Amino acid sequence: MNKLNLNLSISAIIVTFNRKKSLEKCLESLFYQTLPASHVILIDNASTDGTEEMVKNRFKQVSYFRLSENIGGAGGFHEGIKIAVKMGFSWFWLIDDDSVLDKKALENLVLSSNLDKNNVYGSITVSNEEPNKIVFGIIAKENDKKKYIKYYCEIPKIPLIETVGIGFCGFFISRSVVEKVGLPMKELFIYADDSEYSRRINLKYKIKMFYVRESIIYHPDIKLRQINFLWKKISIIDSPPWKCYYNIRNHLYLLKQYNNWLKFYFFIIPKQFFFLIIRLLFLDKDQKLKRFYFYFFGIFDSLLNRFGKRF
């Protein structure tokens, strides 16, 4: 593609919940794109911080959908893509509400992908505080080998980097792929919904996925806690106990889906229970019993395929 096609059919989709100030900056950066999206769909998970008033006053061009309850990021993107499909758009660009887009993020995404509807693409999400750091990391794939890349300077200097999974912040997918693989799994509520969708796309349907090197999105870094254990420093995600439940439940569900049952029940699950004890005794410094409770039921519910908003 040597020049931009101005007859695009791209819907940007944002899911938000009580992040009015961050959302405002995100929307501003979206409308300052050198190549604007054709349309913007905003799914509001029943915010109570004045989000609706801000959007309707400042961004009248946004299609605003307020839900009756919070159904999480997974449910929000499920609904957003479903609405965009009904509205007839050909491409869907998923964006986090606390991100800020480089002004050429969409233009570079379109140019590098050449809008090949047979593949899935993604923008690269870097830290607000440290722009060379990739917030969620990327797994580059080359000749059946995988390499974890944590810093932007380590990315090969090529337009497209093949990968096995793309986070929902900058996830760029065609209507034809959605019609083939279905919608994101809304039952996961939060965490691993993008991992589940990526694995379904890449492993089950054998559809290739690529990060676009020059499409950049800025995002807050992941908060980590540094803990000394057995003379080593261990980093664990600093999140409230209830979020630990969804994190472990959903990731174990994915491991169960893509591993044989012997490995899952006789290696992965015992390993999780061992780590649970280690966390209780040595790693968690506050709310030990509460964290143990949520972590335990995350493991338990993954075994029973018990999903949805539980806590």
Distance CA 153, CA 276 (A): 36
pLDDT tens for each residue of 282-303:
767 778 888 889 999 999 999 9
Return the structure tokens found at 149.
Answer: 């890349």
Distance CA 261, CA 255 (A): 10
How much is the pLDDT for 277? 84
Output the pTM of the full model: 0.92
Distance CA 165, CA 109 (A): 16
> Is the predicted pLDDT of residue 237 greater than 80, yes or no?
no
Q: Is pLDDT larger for residue 289 or for residue 32?
A: 32
Distance CA 125, CA 311 (A): 29
Q: How confident is the model at residue 234 (pLDDT cuts 50, 70, 90)?
A: low
Distance CA 8, CA 170 (A): 17
How much is the pLDDT for 6? 54
Average pLDDT over residues 157-180: 97
> Which element (helix H / strand E) includes 269?
helix 269-278
How much is the pLDDT for 86? 97
CB 52 within 8 A of CB 24: no
How much is the pLDDT for 22? 97
How much is the pLDDT for 281? 74
Ordered by start, the domain boundaries in the chain are 10-219, 224-304
Q: Which of 70-84, 180-194, 279-293 has the lowest mean pLDDT?
A: 279-293
How much is the pLDDT for 2? 37
Average pLDDT over residues 191-203: 96
Number of residues written out for the chain? 311
Distance CA 33, CA 199 (A): 30
Average pLDDT over residues 226-232: 67
Rounded to the nearest 10 degrees, the angle between the axes of helix 241-257 and helix 288-304 is: 30
> Which element (helix H / strand E) includes 185?
none
DSSP 284: -
Average pLDDT over residues 118-132: 96
Distance CA 161, CA 211 (A): 5
How much is the pLDDT for 56? 97
Q: Is pLDDT larger for residue 60 or for residue 143?
A: 60
Strand partners, 217: 101, 125
How much is the pLDDT for 230? 65
Distance CA 122, CA 192 (A): 16
How much is the pLDDT for 1? 38
If one counts every other C-beta atom within 10 angstroms of the C-beta of residue 174, the result is 22
How much is the pLDDT for 8? 84
Question: Which CATH code is given to the segment(s) 10-219?
Answer: 3.90.550.60
Distance CA 32, CA 34 (A): 6
Distance CA 273, CA 220 (A): 31
> Is the predicted pLDDT of residue 89 greater than 50, yes or no?
yes
3-class state of residue 268 by DSSP: helix
Mean pLDDT of the chain: 92
CB 122 within 8 A of CB 211: yes
Q: Give the angle 118-121-122 at the CA atoms, nearest 5°.
A: 170
Average pLDDT over residues 155-168: 96
> Is the predicted pLDDT of residue 4 greater than 70, yes or no?
no
Rounded to the nearest 10 degrees, the angle between the axes of helix 288-304 and helix 269-278 is: 170
Average pLDDT over residues 130-154: 93
> Is the predicted pLDDT of residue 225 greater than 80, yes or no?
no
Distance CA 38, CA 8 (A): 7
Question: By percentage, how much of the chain surpasses pLDDT 90?
Answer: 80
3-class state of residue 222 by DSSP: coil
Q: Which residue has the tokens 């919940």?
A: 17
